[in-house]
């Protein structure tokens, strides 16, 4: 994990709502702010952006103090090197895409410029749209342009407030790969507000869970998704995220082998998409796609069956439990979630420390 370069300590009293957060966040990658409606996610972004004049505390980004109430420091928004992308792209309709990007670039003081206005064109795949006007773009294209305009200002911090929430499922699916790719190339931290656990799992490196204006927990993505004391591991979309790297490919079976902490996974690959050995990937395994057996199944069509040790068994809703497993016969590997019926858990007599075999019915490779 990269070193901390983003500090947010903030208090904001709105009468019936109080924000009180202390966060030290990585200076690289995407931090997701996740939590129920009204928990204070947007308020955190607004404090970072200097839009909450009444908030007290400190905001330090890349070593620069944007706010330190005790010392009377409060930089106004226009002096904070940040990009802000909202749910609805707020582009200038009278300007072309190029005009919008140049606008972002031109309003950036020369001393702060680290990139040309074209910086986001390839990252977001919008080079062919430069002469269009915003009303001639799809919702997904508009959001990509809005992100590129934010990048054209050479921000030290990129804030994104539910950038996909206004898009339908097809447009979301279209834009998510761009965000994933962007994430690899960006040299500034992104704070990303979302309600969607799927977006968190696909994009985030670090997760902050907010509840009623306070930080319930924060930490690296894989830990936060699988902590049995947090709600993220309990919903229908509970998922484990594993880091893997490719160690081989069988052309005959069209299967790639990925090494993960505590085991190996076989993944079907098309011939066009054969990965190079060493290629890293983020692998998603839905908790509902993992079933358990006490013996190594000898006759099964499931490709991936891994030994694992039970870490905890937590009651879920409607006759279901979430079993948290540590991969490997020694239980020292990555954490994997399995969601099974309470009846099955009772029949198997599952208890912490027990060796089981996890049958993994589906693995999605995210990047």
Quote the least distance from Cβ 191 to ligand ATP, whole Å.
12
Residue 40 touching ligand ATP (CB under 6 A): yes
> Which one among 4, 13, 14, 297 touches ligand ATP, defined by CB under 6 A?
14
Binder of ligand ATP out of 5, 25, 30, 41 (CB under 6 A): 41
Total residues binding ligand ATP (CB under 6 A):
11
Sheet with 320-327, edge to edge strand ranges? 290-293, 355-360, 304-315, 320-327, 335-341
Decide: is 13 part of the binding site for ligand ATP (CB under 6 A). Answer: no
Closest approach of ligand ATP to the CB of residue 23, in Å: 14
SS (H, E, C) 25-63: EECCCEEEEECCCCCCHHHHHHHHHCCCCCCEEEEEECC
Asked whether position 87 contacts ligand ATP by CB under 6 A, the answer is: no
**Apex 176 CA angle, 175 and 177, nearest 5:** 95
The single-letter DSSP state of residue 157 is E
Residue closer to ligand ATP by CB (options 54, 135) is 54
Q: What are phi and psi of 70, to 5 degrees?
A: -65, -30
Name which position in 5, 9, 31, 39 contacts ligand ATP (CB under 6 A).
Answer: 39
CA angle 245, 4, 337 (to 5 degrees): 45
Binding test (CB under 6 A) with ligand ATP, winner from 9, 31, 43, 156 = 43
Torsion sign, CA atoms 309, 340, 288, 306 = positive
In the complex with ligand ATP, the residue whose CB is nearer, 43 or 100, is 43
Residue 161 vs 289, nearer CB to ligand ATP:
161
Rounded least distance, CB 34 to ligand ATP, Å: 9
53 binds ligand ATP (CB under 6 A): no
Q: DSSP for 205-230, please give it.
A: SEEEEEETTEEEEEEEHHHHHH-TTS
The residue behind tokens 């002096």 is 79
Choose one: 35-43, 56-64, 131-139, 349-357; the region binding ligand ATP (CB under 6 A).
Answer: 35-43
Contact (CB, 8 A) for 225 and 232: yes
Encoding tokens for residue 108? 């950036």
Q: For residue 301, state whether it binds ligand ATP (rule: CB under 6 A).
A: no
Distance CA 44, CA 308 (A): 39
Q: Does residue 92 belong to the site contacting ligand ATP (CB under 6 A)?
A: no
Provide the token pair at 338: 């399995």
Residues between 192 and 221 with contacts to ligand ATP, criterion CB under 6 A: 195
Question: To the nearest whole angstrom, how small is the minimum distance from the Cβ of residue 42 to ligand ATP?
Answer: 3
Taking the least distance from each CB to ligand ATP, the nearer of 50 and 262 is 50
List of residues contacting ligand ATP (CB under 6 A): 14, 17, 35, 37-43, 195
């Amino acid at each position: 994990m990269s070193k901390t370069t983003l500090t947010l300590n903030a208090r904001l009293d709105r009468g019936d709502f109080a924000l009180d957060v202390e966060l030290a966040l990585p200076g690289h990658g995407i931090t997701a702010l996740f939590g129920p409606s009204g928990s204070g996610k947007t308020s955190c972004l607004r404090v970072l952006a200097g839009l909450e004049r009444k908030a007290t505390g400190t905001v330090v980004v890349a070593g620069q103090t944007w706010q330190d109430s005790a010392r009377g420091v409060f930089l106004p928004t226009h002096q904070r090197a940040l990009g802000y992308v909202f749910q609805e792209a707020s582009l200038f309709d009278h300007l072309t895409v190029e005009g919008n990007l140049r606008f972002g670039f031109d309003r950036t003081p020369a001393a702060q410029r680290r990139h040309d206005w074209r910086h986001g064109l390839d990252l977001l795949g919008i080079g062919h749209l430069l002469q269009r006007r915003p009303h001639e773009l799809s919702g997904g294209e508009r959001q990509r342009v809005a992100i590129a305009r934010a990048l054209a200002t050479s921000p030290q911090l990129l804030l994104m407030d539910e950038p996909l929430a206004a898009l339908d499922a097809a447009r979301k699916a279209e834009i998510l790969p761009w965000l994933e790719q962007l994430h690899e190339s960006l040299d500034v931290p992104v704070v990303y507000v979302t309600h969607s656990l799927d977006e968190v799992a696909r994009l985030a490196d670090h997760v902050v869970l907010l509840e009623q204006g306070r930080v319930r927990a924060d930490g690296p993505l894989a830990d936060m998704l699988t902590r049995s004391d947090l709600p993220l591991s309990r919903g229908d979309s509970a998922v484990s995220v594993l880091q893997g790297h490719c160690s081989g490919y069988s052309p005959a079976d069209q299967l790639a082998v990925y090494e993960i902490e505590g085991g190996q996974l076989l993944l079907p690959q098309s011939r066009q998409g054969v990965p190079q050995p060493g290629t890293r990937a983020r692998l998603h395994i839905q908790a509902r796609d993992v079933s358990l057996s006490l013996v190594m199944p000898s006759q099964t069509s499931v490709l991936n069956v891994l030994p694992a040790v039970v870490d905890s068994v937590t009651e879920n809703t409607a006759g279901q439990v979430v079993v948290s497993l540590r991969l490997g016969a020694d239980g020292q590997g990555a954490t994997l979630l399995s969601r099974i019926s309470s009846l099955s858990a009772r029949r198997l007599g599952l208890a912490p420390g027990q060796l089981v075999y996890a049958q993994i019915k589906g693995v999605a490779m995210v990047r």
